[in-house]
Amino acid sequence: MTKNNGSKQTEQLISLRDLHKDYHTAAGPFPALKGIDLSVDRGEFLTVIGKSGAGKSTMINVITGIDSPTSGEIVIDGAPIHAMTEDQVARWRGDNMGVVFQFFQLLPSLNLIENITLAMDFRNSYPLKERKERALHLLEQVGIAEHAYKTPSKISGGQQQRVAIARALANDPQLILADEPTGNLDSRTAAGILDLFEQLVDQGKTLLLVTHDEDIASRATRTITIANGRIVNGHVDGN
């Protein structure tokens, strides 16, 4: 396993260099990212803000390897994501990265525990016997252990997002990426989710979070703004 706790590595975890992404549209290529340079250190809580259509989702999808860049480099913990095949990225992501989507994206037929153990199953990361226990532990951590045997459709959206976060933690990754994880939730529920993220940062995880909400951004250690496919302010320190 390539997992680590960051003690003996360099400070830098993510490094994006001159990242471009063009979408193919009927009207020709549409540049969504126009040269992104960014470096994120271990343990950072980074938020990405910007107007709708600025390119935030595009950037996060490219970093997670869910989409591939048109050009440029993505190196995470020394791994050249941009140069890997989709399967290699999938494996790498499974081991090192937790992804949280706006629409939770849980598997409807599985109960909450199984949704989490599935992630361990694909990476074969914990012994079969321990997986369930670990899943329960993670559900406890996100505060919904009492619903462990329900299917996603039987719990609320905020609860589903908690499960999605627990699932992102299944293989104990060092990095969590989330695209508008509270975008679909009311503000009180969103606040709870945000608390969870802060706990993760306290545990030493690195967090990259896309949001529309400047309030959320204010709780991050750093916030970058994207406009028109470019980072417009380099370093804005949080409070």
Partner 1 sequence: MEIHARWTKILKDMWNNRSRSMLVILSIAVGVAAVGMITNGSRILKRDLYGAHLAGNPSQLNIYVSPFQEELVTAVEGAREVEHAEPRRTVGALVYDQKNWEDIRLTVIPDFDDIPVNQLTLEAGSPTPSIREVLLERQSAAGLGVEVGDEIVVEMSDERRYALTVSGIVHDLYNSPYAISGEASGFIKMETLEWLGETPYYTYMQVSVSENQTDKEYVLATGEMIRDRIIEPAGYRVSRTDIPGYGSEPGEHWAQKPINGFLLILQIMSVMAIFLSGGLVINTVTAILTQQIRQIGIMRSIGAVRSQITQMYVVNILVFAILGLILAIPLGLLGAWGIGLLAATFMNFNLGPIDISPGLLILQVVLAIVMPVAAALYPIMAGTEISIYDAVYQHGLMSKNAEKHGLINELLHKLRRLSAPILLSLRNTFRNKTRLAFTMVTLTLAGAMFISVFSTRTSLTHQISEVARYVNYDAAISTPGGVNKYTAEREALRIPGIEIAEGWALGSATVIHSDGVEGTDIELVGLPYDAATIDPDMIEGRWLTQDDDWQVVVNEDLLDEESEIHVGGDLILKIDGMERTYQVVGVTSKHLSGERAYISYSTFGKITGRQNEADTIRVRADAGKISNASTQDELADLLEERFENAQLSTSSADTQHAIFSYFTSAFDIILLILIIMAAILAIVGSLGLTGTMGINVLERTREIGVLRAVGASTNAVRQVVVTEGVVVGLISWLLGAILSAPTGFVLGSAVVNALFQTDLAYKYSFIGLGIWLVIIILIGVLASLAPARNAVLLTVREVLDYE
List contacts with partner 1 (CB under 8 A): 61, 64, 66-67, 86-87, 90-91, 93-95, 99, 101, 103, 105-110, 114, 117-123, 128-129, 131-132, 153, 167, 170-171
Point out which span in 36-44, 56-64, 79-87, 113-121 binds ligand ATP (CB under 6 A): 56-64
Point out which span in 47-55, 116-124, 139-147, 184-192 binds ligand ATP (CB under 6 A): 47-55
> Cα dist. 85→6, 14, 108, 171, 204 in Å?
25, 19, 28, 21, 29
CB contact set of 152 (below 8 Å; sequence gap of 6+): 104, 106, 107, 108, 110, 112, 115, 160, 163
Contact call for residue 57 and Mg ion (CB under 5 A): yes
User: At 30, is the secondary structure helix, strand, or coil?
Assistant: strand
Q: How many residues does the chain have?
A: 239
Residues 66-105 that bind Mg ion (CB under 5 A): none
Contact call for residue 139 and ligand ATP (CB under 6 A): no
Point out which span in 8-16, 45-53, 141-149, 167-175 binds ligand ATP (CB under 6 A): 45-53
How far apart CA 152 and CA 53 sit, in angstroms, is 30
By the 10 Å C-beta count (0-12 exposed, 13-18 middle, 19+ buried), 239 is classed as exposed
CB contact set of 22 (below 8 Å; sequence gap of 6+): 29, 30, 31, 32, 70
Closest distance between partner 1 and the C-beta of residue 128, in Å?
5
Closest distance between partner 1 and the C-beta of residue 112, in Å?
12
* Closer by beta carbon to ligand ATP, 7 or else 52: 52
Contact call for residue 23 and ligand ATP (CB under 6 A): yes
Which chain residues interact with ligand ATP by CB under 6 A? 23, 25, 30, 32, 50, 52-58, 212
